Each structure stands twice: as structure tokens, then as C-alpha cells.
């Protein structure tokens, strides 16, 4: 019987646990904790525009970043900025209004400015950040016109700073896997790509339904995901575009002349054809590639989380799952790593410009009813 004076060894022998204890000791010896290396230097981000994307997605994503931290906030609402600064540990010296924005140049804790404003404001706030000597991550769509995109790219070049567009799906594991499956021809050559992106838009007063602020309707906001996916899944640039749009007459949401639904077809140089849909009238959330031997798809394809992949072959559907990752953390870490390593972002300003040129062609095709050809 065990007494308080029984040694640990005696107790183990008496209870026949010696062997187990010896091997446990071995496990303990092998599982010595390894000390971490020095922390990665995280680059400082200023978030410009504290609307729903910044508050619900971007600011919470910093907790998942390895290379990025939030060091400044820019807002027209000082009280909101102060509340968020307290929540995310941003010092009072990192709070700016749109009027004091240019003073970011004097803040050494800000390396990268993330522009999360209505579309029409992207060019001005990107160029001003570059002028202040900062790198810029700008939300999609890059701007409302290709000419503005060119001005933004020129400003980045003149400043010798990076410009990246926030195409979060280009950093998301399922979309990356779709790209690899298409490019490596896992199921033979891709022939047809179907991309659908849409949601039913609410408040008629929001900036997304103001043509001057948004630059257009569903295509500029959500259809851009379908276009971008058709381009990254094919790995090519479209050479011919057809389009067809429809807006419900009398629907107060579209009174400013922004389109509700727009369908577009893209022909790529290799012969891949893409059918795409963009809508503010119905929910659409799927990218599918039909290759010679199978079809593979994401549905949902563009949500912030819980994407699903299916491979459809003959009569079977195979589900493939990947670890969930925070898309905004991946995107911001990529930007920070590009700055640290002086490498070109995967989605630079030129990528945003290509989408803007294609979107202008889509609008022209819808307006004229004619096929618009591009240089590819
Ligand atoms: P939002 O309306 O929720 O926020 C916009 C912010 O800009 C608000 O804080 C508003 O106060 C501010 N603002 C400053 N000047 C303004 C003006 N003149 N009119 C209206 N607002 C003004 O919009 P959001 O959904 O956060 O979108 C912001 C940007 O992010 C857009 O370019 C949008 O396309 C993009 N976005 C990207 C994703 C994504 O998944 N990558 C998702 C949503 C939005």
C-alpha cells in the first residue's frame, strides 16, 4: 500500500507501472519544448475607410497575420475611429481624418496604406498615399476607369512603391487549387468555364447604387469576381467579348442607371470559352471548369469562408476539402512579404487595369449588342 514515504519508483514497481513510466519519460524527453525564434517584424498598415469591410473582415483578420499589424486608422468619423483604435490597440497618434491623411508621411509606423473606400475614391487616396511615400493595397475594383488605373500605376512607379489590388480570392486555398487543377490539366484540357457571382442588393441609398461613386452596377462590385476568375482559371486574357444586360424597370434600387444583371461571354486565345453572370438581383456563387475528363467547381466560390469543392466525373461527385484560412490575413501577409522582400505582388495594379479594360468592353458589348475584340 502506498504511504506518503513511498518513493515514486517503489510505487511504480508495486503497481506494475514501471514500463509505462519509463516509456512516458522517453516521450517527455523527446517532447522538450522548442523555443520560438525571434518574432517576425510585422509591417504597419493604415486602414482607410471604416465601413463594413474594414470593421467586419479586415480589422479582425490582423489577429491571423504573421507579417502585418494595424497601426493607423483613417476615417471621417472620429468617435468610430477611436472606438476601433481602442479595440485593436491603435495609438491616438495613428488616428487620421481625410483632411489630415497626407500626414501619414510622417508616421514611421505605417508602411502600407489599405484603401477601403467607395470605388470612385480609390485613385485619389492611392495616389496621395504613394505621394506620402507609402506602399498601397487598394480594394477592388481598382478604379472606375482604365485611365485612372494607369494614373495609379504611374504614381506607384514614380514613388518607387508597391501597388497591390485586394483580390482576396487569389490568396485563398480553394481558388488556388482550382487554378492548379486547370493549369496542370489534372482532368485534361479545360474547355468551358462558368462563373457566377451575385447577390440581392438592399438599401437603395447606398453608394454601390450611385453610378458616380460605384462606376457601374453589379459588374463593378461583384461580377468582377466572375471576370477575374474566368481570367485566372483560364490563365489567359480574353480576345472577344459578348454581353447582355437587364435591369428591372421601375426598381427604385437601380434608379441611378446602374445595371442589375449582366451576362457576358469571353473567348480566350486557346479556344476556352467562358460564360459569366453578374447580378444585384439574385444570389450567385459558383465557379466551374469543364475539362476533357471531368468538371470541377467551387460552390460557394467567393464567400469569406466555408467554400466547397466538387469534382464531377461520370456519375460521381467527389468532395475535396482544404484547411480553412482567413483570406484577408493571407492577402495582407502577401502584401507585407512583397514589401519586405521587394517582390512584385501576385495581384499588382496591372491586374486591376486588365479587369477594368475587360469591364469597359463588357459594358460596350452590352450597349451596342456587338462583339468587342481585345488584344488579349
Ligand atoms: P461601406 O459603405 O461599408 O464603407 C465605405 C466607407 O467609406 C464608410 O466608412 C464610409 O463612411 C466611407 N466613405 C468616405 N467617403 C464616402 C463617401 N463619399 N460616400 C460613401 N462612403 C464614404 O463599403 P464597403 O463594403 O466597406 O466597401 C469599401 C470598398 O471595399 C469598396 O471598394 C468595395 O468594392 C470593397 N469591398 C471589397 C470586398 C472584398 O471581398 N474584397 C468586400 C466588400 C467591399
DSSP letter string over 259-295?
-SEEEEEEE-TTS-EEEEEEESSS-EEEEEEEESS-E
CA 245–ligand 1 middle distance (angstroms): 25
Whole-number mean pLDDT of the chain? 93
Q: Is the pLDDT of residue 327 over 80?
A: yes
Q: Average of pLDDT values for 7-24? A: 40
C-alpha cell at 131: 505621394
User: What is the distance between the alpha carbons of residues 70 and 295, in angstroms, rounded to a whole number?
Assistant: 41
Domain ranges for the chain: 43-166, 170-323+349-373
User: What is the distance between the alpha carbons of residues 145 and 106, in angstroms, rounded to a whole number?
Assistant: 31
According to the CATH classification, is domain 43-166 in 3.40.50.720? yes
Q: Cβ contacts of residue 342 below 8 Å, gap of 6+?
A: none
Tell me if 201 CB under 6 Å of ligand 1: no
- Residue 178's H or E segment, with its range, is helix 173-183
Report the nearest-CA residue for atom 10 of ligand 1: 51
Tell me if 352 CB under 6 Å of ligand 1: no
pLDDT band at 29 (very low <50, low <70, confident <90, very high): low
Q: What digits encode the pLDDT tens for the residues 205-261?
A: 999 999 999 999 999 999 999 999 999 999 999 999 999 999 999 999 999 999 999
Atom of ligand 1 nearest to the CA of 221: 34
Q: What digits encode the pLDDT tens for the residues 292-320?
A: 999 999 999 999 999 999 999 999 999 99
Q: In terms of DSSP bridges, do strands 261-267 and 295-298 run parallel, antiparallel, or are they unpaired?
A: unpaired
Tell me if 216 CB under 6 Å of ligand 1: no
Tell me if 224 CB under 6 Å of ligand 1: no
Nearest C-alpha neighbor of 21 from the set 31, 32, 30, 9: 9
CATH topology of domain 170-323+349-373: Dihydrodipicolinate Reductase; domain 2 (3.30.360)
Q: Average of pLDDT values for 43-48? A: 99
Q: How many CB atoms lie within 10 A of CB 360?
A: 17
Place of cell 478604379: 143
Q: Cβ contacts of residue 28 below 8 Å, gap of 6+?
A: none
Q: How many helices (H) and strands (E) are present in the chain, helices listed first?
A: 13, 15
Amino acid at each position: 500500500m502506498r504511504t506518503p514515504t513511498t518513493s515514486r519508483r517503489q510505487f511504480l514497481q508495486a503497481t506494475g507501472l514501471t514500463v509505462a513510466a519509463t516509456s512516458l519519460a522517453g516521450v517527455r524527453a523527446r517532447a522538450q519544448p522548442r523555443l520560438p525564434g525571434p518574432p517576425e517584424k510585422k509591417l504597419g498598415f493604415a486602414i482607410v475607410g471604416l465601413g463594413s469591410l474594414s470593421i467586419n473582415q479586415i480589422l479582425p483578420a490582423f489577429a491571423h497575420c504573421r507579417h502585418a499589424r494595424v497601426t493607423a486608422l483613417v476615417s471621417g468619423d472620429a468617435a468610430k475611429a477611436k472606438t476601433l483604435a481602442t479595440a485593436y490597440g491603435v495609438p491616438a497618434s495613428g488616428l487620421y481624418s481625410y483632411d489630415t491623411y497626407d500626414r501619414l508621411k510622417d508616421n514611421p509606423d505605417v508602411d502600407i496604406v489599405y484603401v477601403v473606400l467607395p470605388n470612385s475614391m480609390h485613385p485619389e487616396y492611392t495616389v496621395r498615399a504613394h505621394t506620402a511615400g507609402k506602399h498601397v493595397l487598394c480594394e477592388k475594383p481598382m478604379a472606375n476607369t482604365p485611365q485612372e488605373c494607369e494614373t495609379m500605376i504611374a504614381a506607384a512607379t514614380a514613388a518607387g512603391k508597391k501597388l497591390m489590388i485586394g483580390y482576396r480570392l487569389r490568396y485563398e486555398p480553394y481558388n488556388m487549387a482550382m487554378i492548379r487543377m486547370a493549369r496542370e490539366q489534372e482532368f485534361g484540357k479545360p474547355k468551358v468555364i462558368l462563373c457566377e457571382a451575385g447577390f440581392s442588393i438592399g438599401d437603395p441609398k447606398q453608394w454601390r447604387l450611385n453610378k458616380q461613386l460605384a462606376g457601374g452596377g453589379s459588374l463593378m462590385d461583384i461580377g468582377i469576381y466572375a471576370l477575374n476568375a474566368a481570367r485566372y482559371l483560364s490563365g489567359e486574357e480574353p480576345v472577344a467579348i459578348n454581353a447582355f444586360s437587364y435591369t428591372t424597370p421601375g426598381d427604385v434600387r437601380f434608379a441611378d442607371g446602374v445595371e442589375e444583371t449582366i451576362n457576358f461571354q469571353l473567348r480566350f486565345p486557346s479556344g476556352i470559352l467562358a460564360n459569366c453572370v453578374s447580378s444585384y438581383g439574385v444570389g450567385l456563387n459558383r465557379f466551374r471548369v469543364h475539362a476533357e475528363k471531368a468538371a470541377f467547381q467551387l460552390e460557394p466560390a467567393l464567400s469569406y469562408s466555408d467554400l466547397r469543392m466538387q469534382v464531377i466525373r461520370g456519375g460521381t461527385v467527389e468532395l475535396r476539402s482544404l484547411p480553412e484560412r482567413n483570406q484577408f490575413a493571407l492577402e495582407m501577409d502577401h502584401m507585407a512579404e512583397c514589401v519586405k522582400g521587394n517582390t512584385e505582388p501576385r495581384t499588382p495594379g496591372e491586374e486591376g487595369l486588365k479587369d477594368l479594360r475587360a469591364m469597359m468592353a463588357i459594358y460596350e458589348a452590352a450597349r451596342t449588342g456587338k462583339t468587342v475584340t481585345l488584344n488579349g
